[in-house]
A and B are shown apart, each in its own frame.
Chain A
Amino acid sequence: MADAILQLRGLTKRFGGLTAVDRVDLDVRPGEVVGLLGDNGAGKSTLIKMVSGVYQPDEGQIFFQGREVRMASPMNALELGIETLYQDLALAENLNVYSNIFLGRERTRRFLGMIPVLDHAVMHDESSKVLKRLEIEIPSLRNLIKNLSGGQRQAVAIGRSIYWNAKLLIMDEPTAALGVQEQRKVLDLVRLLRSQNIPIIIISHQMYDIFSVTDRLVVMRRGKKVAERITKETNTDEVVGLITGAEEVEKNGAPAAPSASS
């Protein structure tokens, strides 16, 4: 088994008197899809925001590709190759598809040999390539985002992170607010990325999503990691029990124990 690309050790975040994330350990390996579960307020989002550089941990360490990293801002995370897809996708609806893929990192060419201007042709073609690689079909890359469906927007956001060589992709509720058909497409996309060896962390409330695409599950409750399961070796009932706390956990307290199988 390959070494973990991401290792969290004793990660802790407090907001005033509230400990939102309490000494969490987590490993993610190349080509692995990890599901992060928990009720509202369990600390999933806070944990993810520390990995994507939005929050800075109060205690604990983050190792990325074997080295300890400290991220002062989301830009640091992006530079490392940690791409996060938020629920709201963060697309500029008034811009077209390829402009969003290249937003903030636009390609330019020299106009009259001196003035850098946007190079629409290159951005269009490069975007078209990456979307093709992800088997995403969008009628025209000149379409404005506001004229696309929810699934197409999700696909554009994923395409953007992949184009910029994501070494780790974090997806926050990727199928929320999508129709059934589109949910399936997004899940297919997750499987495709996995086959291309890109590690993914998925936060989701949808049991079906979690069970259909993840390799491993991590359950959080009140800021603590309460369980970790190989997806194939558990079932919905047990997971729901773990999330709600109905099922007291016997395997608890074995942080980051590398799973025996898989």
Chain B
Amino acid sequence: MPETTLGRGSTPTLAAAGRRLGARWAGRNWPVLFLLLEVAVFAAAGTRFLSLENLQNILVACLPILLLGMGETFVIITGGIDLSVGFVMGFATVICAKAMVLLQAAGLPPGASIPLAALICLAVGAVPGLVNGTLVARLRVPPFLATFGMYGIAYGVSEIVSENTPISGLPHAAGVLGNDYILYVLPGRFTTFFARPQNLDVRDMRSMLSILPTIVIAVVLFVAAFAFILRRTRFGQHTYAIGGSIDAATRAGINVPRHLTATYIISSCFASLSGIMYVLKYVTGRADAGSARMLDSVVAVVIGGASLYGGTGSVKGTIIGSLIIATLETGMVNLGVPSHNRYIAIGLILVLAVLIDQFFPDLIGRGE
């Protein structure tokens, strides 16, 4: 814990100490406070903002930001950046959707074609990461340029594969999987798991509660696994060490090029995972599916306390950062604010977070 003395001179009283601790807590946790403030403002201004349905909408809106942000967290901690994640996500939706269509045409049932297409998508989706990683780690191309090149390449290749049109004709089951909830409850009448009840009348449909979207749970599992890797394992420790000092990591015997390559592969695999979720949710694949999400993911990670200079950042922070953006997005839709305003708001938040990083570096960082 760094000792930040906020008050000086006067006799320290218990109240003063309490205020100081409070101020330090507020400083370190400003993203949490910001999120609460956001929720309070939208709840006061909008209607039904705090409804179960709307809160779950926030979670669903959070998914692509969080998934891209997860990979971005690893990359940014090493001191790099991955600008290609948005278009790699688009590339993944195209590959995944195309694979589903082809496997279905080959006569495979949805139970086989959907998981197989997802696996193919993850495998193919690792390739941009491998290329980025090799460029950055072995050929010493600055991360900004290497991944910016991939940004264009991934987009162009996706347009070729999809022949400039969103891919259609996917198995119907894909959409069911992507829009299902874990639990359906009609108070006093029934509770079902996984399967949406059939043959309900309109009134029952309206009052039925759908709880926990299945894809949210799937994402939570992946996020938890990689949060564990980052925080508890040698791999995670080496990620931080490389961001702290590449020299120190190299001299300590860490295989830095291999580790960096793995980091960029993690990033593009998370982008691909986000692509798979998109395909399941919207039952299509399109080159521009994630084009707006690159900015979101970088902002989420930076709000979450990662420094673009490397060495700090945490999954916890990225989750908060993603929620801040998803809440903003959902809240603005809720209030009927035109969507282009959200880009302005997110851009402003990014600049604010970077300024805080610049001038109050003690306020951020992964709390040990």
Contact = CB atoms under 8 A, between A and B. Distances in A.
Physical interaction between A and B: yes
Interface string A88-115: 1111111110011001111010010001
B163 interface: no
Most buried by B among A86, A88, A92: A92
Nearest to A117: B232
A93 B244 contact: yes
A74 interface: yes
Interface string B153-171: 0000000000000000000
Most buried by B among A90, A100, A108: A90
B233 A92 contact: no
B243 interface: yes
A95 B241 contact: yes
Interface in A66-97: 74-75, 78, 86, 88-96
Interface string B219-252: 0000000001000111001101101110111111
A147 interface: yes
A147 to B, nearest CB: 5
Contact of B245 (A74, A93, A104, A142): A93
Contact of A144 (B2, B237, B248, B249): B2
Most buried by B among A105, A108, A115, A117: A117
A95 B234 CA distance: 13
Contacts of B237: 95, 99, 103, 106, 118
A258 interface: no
Interface in B302-351: 311-312
Given A99-B237, A106-B237, A92 B368 contact: no
Majority-rule SS of B interface residues: helix
Given A108-B234, A118-B233, A92 B245 contact: yes
Given A96-B368, A142-B368, A106 B234 contact: yes
Contacts of B241: 92, 95, 99, 103-104
Contacts of A105: 252-253
B254 interface: yes
A105 to B, nearest CB: 7
Contact of B253 (A78, A108, A111): A78
A41 interface: no
Contacts of B245: 90-93
A105 B243 CA distance: 17
Contacts of B243: 94
A116 interface: yes
Contacts of A95: 237, 240-241, 244
Contacts of A111: 232
B253 A104 contact: yes
A94 B248 CA distance: 11
Interface in A116-152: 116-118, 142, 144, 146-147
A104 B254 contact: yes
Given A78-B253, A94-B312, A147-B2, A118 B247 contact: no
Contacts of A91: 245, 248
Contacts of B365: 94
B248 A92 contact: yes
Most buried by B among A89, A104, A117, A146: A104
Nearest to B234: A106
A104 B240 contact: no
B39 to A, nearest CB: 32
A127 to B, nearest CB: 14
A234 B249 CA distance: 41
Nearest to B361: A146
A114 B200 CA distance: 47
A96 B237 CA distance: 11
B88 to A, nearest CB: 28
Contacts of A92: 240-241, 244-245, 248-249, 311
A91 B241 CA distance: 9
Most buried by A among B3, B237, B240, B252: B252
Contacts of A94: 240, 243-244, 311-312, 365
B258 to A, nearest CB: 13
Contacts of B311: 92-94
Given A90-B245, A117-B233, A103 B368 contact: no
A88 B233 CA distance: 27
A121 B184 CA distance: 45
Nearest to B77: A94
B252 A104 contact: yes
Contacts of B228: 115
24 contacts: A74-B250, A74-B251, A78-B253, A90-B245, A90-B248, A90-B251, A92-B245, A92-B248, A93-B244, A94-B240, A94-B243, A95-B237, A95-B240, A95-B244, A103-B252, A104-B238, A104-B241, A104-B253, A105-B253, A108-B233, A111-B232, A115-B233, A118-B237, A144-B2
Nearest first, the 3 A-B pairs at minimum CB distance are A104-B252, A92-B244, A94-B311
Interface of B: 2-3, 228, 232-234, 237-238, 240-241, 243-245, 247-254, 311-312, 365, 368
Given A94-B365, A144-B2, 9 more contacts: A91-B245, A92-B245, A92-B249, A94-B312, A95-B244, A104-B241, A116-B234, A117-B232, A118-B232
